[in-house]
Amino acid sequence: MAAAATSPAPAVAWAFAAATCVKLLLVPTYLSTDFDVHRYWLALTHALPLRRWYTDASSQWTLDYPPFFAYFSRFLAVPAPLVDASLVSLPVPDAPPSFAFLLYLRLTVAFSDLLLLASVLLLATDARRRRRPFLALALVLWSPALLAVDHVHFQYNGFLMGMLLLSLHFLEQGRDLAGGVVFAALLCSKHLFLVAAPVYFVYLFRHYCCGRGVVRGLGRLVLMGASVAAVFAAAFAPFLYYGQMQQLFNRLFPFGRGLCHAYWAPNFWVFYITIDKILAFLLRRLGFDIQIPEASFTGGLVGNSSPFAVLPKVTPITTFLLVILAMSPCLMKAFYKPQPKHIIRWVSYATTCGFMFGWHVHEKASLHFTIPLVLIAMDSLEDAKHYFVLSIVSCYSLFPLLFENQEYPIKVLLLLTYATLMWVGFSSHFAANSAQEEKKVNRSGNRVKKNSFAGWVSCSYLLGIVAIELWSQVFHHYVFGNRLPFLPLMMLSLYCGVGMMYSWMWQLAWILKHT
């Protein structure tokens, strides 16, 4: 018992095992287009030589992740023929996959989550050498958003988040070189984490290279630069040799896809687009000749033409500048006072800025900040209140990904279970802390004031999610029939966008005040 009390590893391992059992139960769920994408990439990297990976256009599911992820797909393809030869055959068969085929691909996702488990175990100790609460670690492994996106919709975010958390662990422990190298490997696996690069650059430059004398600081700068360059060389050198860098970067950064995804991520741009639609409608009613773009609520905003009728066109450079501007307070804090204890919060805020103001943001990108933030969710009551709302909003915003009827009870049950676990766990944790503080009487004889876990504003907002869901599932059909099919999705994006904007502003205020 004493060993179990000092080490969270056995409890975390049991939590991971329980999550794995849930993942196995999700094997027969629906097959998304992302399943087809990764199925094709497995066959592509196995059947074709490396020089054709980024030039092959025989399928619509072209490879558009960086080289390390392509190597990862190639690694997963090695034992695949032993299970089902069609896993690695081109062209991919049109027939539905066999159960062995399906089980193998599902298990590759569960297997890759071992990196997430390892990172969580390492993060059991924070930057101050204090034990993190077991619940904070378990909530990473039990994230309903991660279960839904990876083990139903089908992606490898657990593996990628494991790399990010591993990098953050190294930075928290002062092992900056290792943290920088792992982050470089992450960028070579999924380039969307590039939004955190400014924070990494500023923090590593100031914390690792500066303040140690000119010669030693320069030596460290060269060492860090050479190590990161070596990682990028390992990823991109073969494609540079084959003269495919332009093709590769066109795959990684397809700016022609437009500002928003077909389903609007709940960020700043959902309000911008909605205001434009409202202004266009009002001005047309007043007699103004306003041309409505062809892009609709249901089709998304794609292509190079401006989808806006009234407001100015938004370009990729505009979104880039907005992201950097939103991130600048965090960058200044990291530059003037780089502290390992704040690195998780700074990186999470940077990825939040990318989500809120970035170009063609997918709703799944909310995982990039909700997963790291859970590690510090129990640092204070205010952190717990913030994460409680954020995690529910983030998970609910992913509901449209699981759109088939048979998956509806699954996503609702996952979210309700996680919300209940947070409510009970956070309430118990802070109630115990409050009870200890109440025993301490200050010099004036006043007892420490008790704080409630969730205020009425948060509870009212979360109850609004129930109202949105009831409208989408029940009342919309009775009121409008088959008309306005975009309305439920638009309401969901707008309502969740309010919660995401709150989270961004809350994080910014905390960073300005406390770091």
State the virtual CA torsion across 235, 345, 374, 170 in degrees, nearest 10.
50
Instruction: Classify 328 as helix, strand or coil.
Output: helix
Find all residues with CB under 8 Å of 515, minimum gap 6, and list them.
333, 337, 339, 342, 345, 346
Tell me what pLDDT residue 356 has.
97
Burial class (CB in 10 A: 0-12, 13-18, 19+), 137: buried
Tell me what pLDDT residue 238 has.
96
Tell me what pLDDT residue 347 has.
98
State the virtual CA torsion across 343, 348, 349, 350 in degrees, nearest 10.
90
**What stretches of 149-289 show up as alpha helix (H) in DSSP?**
157-172, 176-187, 197-204, 214-241, 245-252, 268-285
**Nearest of 162, 139, 169 to residue 429 by alpha carbon:** 139
Query: Which residues in the chain land under pLDDT 70?
Result: 1-6, 262-263, 293-307, 434-453
Tell me what pLDDT residue 211 has.
83
C-alpha 69/C-alpha 80 separation (Å) is 17
Tell me what pLDDT residue 3 has.
42
C-alpha 237/C-alpha 85 separation (Å) is 31
Distances (CA, A) of 304 to 298, 335, 362: 18, 37, 18
397 within 8 A of 388, measured Cβ to Cβ: no
Tokens of 168: 């953050």
